Amino acid sequence: MDKVFFHEMMFYAYHGVYPEESRLGQRFTVDLELGLDLRPAAESDDLAKTVNYQAVYETVRSTVEGKPVKLVETLAERVIEQLFAKFPVEYAWVRITKPDPPIPGHYRAVGVEMRRERNRRDE
């Protein structure tokens, strides 16, 4: 399976359990990998036969910067759901990182990773 990837997309949003997260917001980074057959695009040099990077970015941006949630797990699932709804990918892997989490202790970053495969029975 071929893949298209995005590394360290940066957003500012208001997700989190702690009151200061929803009041002040924080940075989030998103890494993304989308699995699909890239041969048709490579052979034809046709953007319509792959995923448009800008459209993927805008989908992720609107989801991450959209309605706040408490859990990064919920946010990651929403990103994947939107990607499956808009793009013909076989799987999506996403990592969402909070680079500066407001939790006691010294952390460089925390976050989640999820990988989901498209369920063809649901189409």
Q: How far apart are CA 69 and CA 104, in angstroms?
A: 21
Identified catalytic residue from 49, 67, 70, 98:
98
Let me know: does 98 contact 72? Beta carbons within 8 Å: yes
Q: How far apart are CA 106 and CA 122, in angstroms?
A: 43
As a dihedral over the C-alpha atoms of residue 76, residue 82, residue 84, residue 87, rounded to 10 degrees, the angle is -130
Q: Is 98 a catalytic residue?
A: yes
pTM for the model: 0.92
Q: Where are the domains of the chain?
A: 2-122
Enter the CATH code of domain 2-122: 3.30.1130.10
Q: What is the pLDDT of residues 65-119, one digit of tens each?
A: 999 999 999 999 999 999 999 999 999 999 999 998 877 786 789 999 999 999 8
Cβ-Cβ contacts under 8 Å for 97 (sequence gap 6 or more): 28, 29, 30, 31, 109, 110, 111
